[in-house]
Amino acid sequence: MSENKHTSYISGKESRRITKFNRKVTKKLESERANANKDPQLYTTKMKDENNVVEFDNVCTFFFTEVGTVKAVDGISFEVPKNSTVGVVGESGCGKSVTSLSLMQLLQRPTGQVVGGEIRFNKGDGTAYNIVNTPNSIMEQIRGNKMSMIFQEPMTSLNPVFRIGDQVDEAIILHNPDMSEEDVKARTLELLDMVGIANKEGVYSMYPHELSGGMRQRVMIAIALACRPELIIADEPTTALDVTIQAQILDLLENLKKKIGSSIMLITHDLGVVAGMADYVVVMYAGRVIEKGTADDIFHHPAHPYTIGLMKSKPVVGKKVEELYNIPGSVPNPVNMPNYCYFRDRCEMQCDMCSGKYPPSIKISDTHVVSCYRFYDEKNVIEYPKTVNPEEL
């Protein structure tokens, strides 16, 4: 909310202009996608590091909405190494879910589009998919098979008219068409057992409404694990659950990770959950990565003022403080982002450079990278985030 009274209103003329522009851009992007179908060269690249499962490289995901172009994800780079858990933390609207949806190609098209950068997904044979350009037919083989997703709300992500068994079976049959019916069922029961459902035969023939929230989330996890994926994306897997059930699910995820050896990308706003689970942490703010590093770096030596503020503003059991620290103000309007550091207006540690360009990512230790001018040093600058100007598309 700003002092200017009419910022949230758009004139008819302006609105027509935006609609016309959106139509033009999305049409062009869609036709480019259609062309990419033909040539596998267009969507095959090489990983920077073979030990990573996924590499995000300056990914830009924009939404062409009626009020203007929303830069939901604006040039983010991070990687998910093999056999590790990466926690993505941030407030609502900071782009963490959009990041995962871009990776799964589940964005609401044509409004939402990945307009720039590369998302490299390791094939395992020295080459990689560039998810941004991969056509749907290939994506169908990857999705659910090589990477799968656990959604936030187990209540709404299971189909109410199919039995649990059928829903787990479906994922297996789709990616293993040669498997016999008995084998599929045996595998489903094995999965249900693995996620800690005691009455697996019973649950196999139940409908989702007969299960509690925690049980439904277990079924969701079973579906995600069906094809032994290399990457599991858990998008706020415990937010809709109670504390005691949350403990059950987190325990389960931790054990499963050890058992099947896949990577987990854990998206959450709860720092406590991340601390217990993650090896690496990525902190996002307003569509950009502002800090990334190992869990130890982030929790014991937070560098970005936003991360520091976030840590201090959450009450912690056993540590009594008289008054909680609060970060003043709120997130800037995503349609109209400033051209200086997005956090400057809320920051209490500003320096002179903050009013200039958006800060580059700066290396402060081997594993720890932060985007803040407080640590600015010519030698350690990695790169400035590359964004895409929607007008040039």
Partner 1 sequence: MAEEIKKVGLLEGAENNPDNLLVVKNLKKYFPIKSSFFKMTVGNVKAVDGVSFAIKRGTTMGLVGESGCGKSTIGRTILRLQDKTEGEVYFNGKDLFALSKDELRKERPNIQIIFQDPYSSLSPRLPVGEIIGEAVREHKIVPPEEFDDYITRVMEACGLPEYAKSRYPHEFSGGQRQRICIARALALNPDFILCDEPVSALDVSIQAQIINLLRSLQKEFGLTYLFISHDLSVVEHISDTVGVMYLGNMVEFAPTETLFKNPLHPYTEALFSAIPIPDPDYQMHRIILEGSIPSPANPPKGCKFHTRCRKCMEICKYADPNFKMVEDEHFVACHLYNTEEENKIAQRLTEEAKKAEKEEAENQKNGKKK
Stretch of residues binding partner 1 (CB under 8 A), selected from 13-21, 97-105, 126-134, 292-300: 292-300
Least distance from partner 1 to the Cβ atom of residue 276, Å: 5
Collect all residues with Cβ–Cβ distance below 8 Å to 99 and sequence separation of at least 6.
56, 59, 61, 73, 76, 88, 267, 284
Least distance from partner 1 to the Cβ atom of residue 234, Å: 14
Candidates 60, 62, 82; CA nearest to 147 is 82
**Strand ranges of the sheet holding 288-294, from the earlier edge strand across to the other edge:** 147-150, 231-235, 263-268, 85-89, 280-285, 288-294, 369-370, 361-363, 381-383
Rounded to 5 degrees, φ, ψ at 63 are: -115, 125
> Does position 272 bind partner 1 by CB under 8 A?
yes
How many Å apart are CA 271 and CA 369, to the nearest integer?
A: 18
* List 30, 49, 296, 383, residue binding partner 1 (CB under 8 A): 296
Stretch of residues binding partner 1 (CB under 8 A), selected from 47-55, 166-174, 255-263, 309-317: 309-317
Could you give the angle at the alpha carbon of 55 between the alpha carbons of 53 and 60, nearest 5°?
A: 145
Least distance from partner 1 to the Cβ atom of residue 293, Å: 11
Stretch of residues binding partner 1 (CB under 8 A), selected from 17-25, 54-62, 72-80, 295-303: 295-303
> Does position 326 bind partner 1 by CB under 8 A?
yes
How many Å apart are CA 298 and CA 86, to the nearest integer?
A: 12
Stretch of residues binding partner 1 (CB under 8 A), selected from 14-22, 169-177, 315-323, 374-382: 315-323
* List 67, 179, 247, 381, residue binding partner 1 (CB under 8 A): 247
* List 28, 190, 325, 349, residue binding partner 1 (CB under 8 A): 325
> Does position 4 bind partner 1 by CB under 8 A?
no
> Buried (b) or exposed (e) across 342-369, using 16+ Cβ within 10 A?
bbbebbeebeeebeeebbbbbebeeebb
- The 331-370 site mask, x for binding partner 1 (CB under 8 A), equals ----------------------------------------
Least distance from partner 1 to the Cβ atom of residue 65, Å: 16
* Token pair listed for 14: 């302006």
Least distance from partner 1 to the Cβ atom of residue 250, Å: 8
* List 108, 137, 244, 389, residue binding partner 1 (CB under 8 A): 244
Residue 380, SS3?
helix
Contacts with partner 1: how many residues (CB under 8 A)? 49
> Does position 86 bind partner 1 by CB under 8 A?
no
Least distance from partner 1 to the Cβ atom of residue 348, Å: 13
Each as own residue / partner, the long-range contacts of residues 135-138 (CB below 8 Å, 24 or more positions apart, any chain) are 135/33, 135/36, 135/37, 135/43, 136/105, 137/37, 138/43
> Does position 299 bind partner 1 by CB under 8 A?
yes
* List 174, 275, 353, 381, residue binding partner 1 (CB under 8 A): 275
Least distance from partner 1 to the Cβ atom of residue 53, Å: 21
Stretch of residues binding partner 1 (CB under 8 A), selected from 28-36, 72-80, 112-120, 264-272: 264-272
Candidates 332, 262, 288; CA nearest to 117 is 288
How many Å apart are CA 221 and CA 217, to the nearest integer?
A: 6
Stretch of residues binding partner 1 (CB under 8 A), selected from 40-48, 49-57, 263-271, 378-386: 263-271
Amino acid at 176: N
How many Å apart are CA 337 and CA 317, to the nearest integer?
A: 36
> Does position 214 bind partner 1 by CB under 8 A?
yes
| For residue 110, cis peptide bond before it (omega within 30 degrees of 0) | yes
* Token pair listed for 316: 């912690």
Could you give the angle at the alpha carbon of 236 between the alpha carbons of 75 and 197, nearest 5°?
A: 140
**Which 125-184 residues touch partner 1, going by CB under 8 A?**
none
Q: Which is nearer to partner 1, 161 or 324 (CB)?
A: 324
> Does position 212 bind partner 1 by CB under 8 A?
yes
* List 295, 347, 372, 393, residue binding partner 1 (CB under 8 A): 295
Give me the residue label for tokens 């902190």: 283
Helices vs. strands in the chain: H and E counts, helices first: 12, 14
Binding site for partner 1 (CB under 8 A): 1, 3, 8, 91-92, 212-215, 242-248, 250-251, 269-276, 278, 295-296, 299-300, 309-311, 313-318, 320-321, 323-328, 330
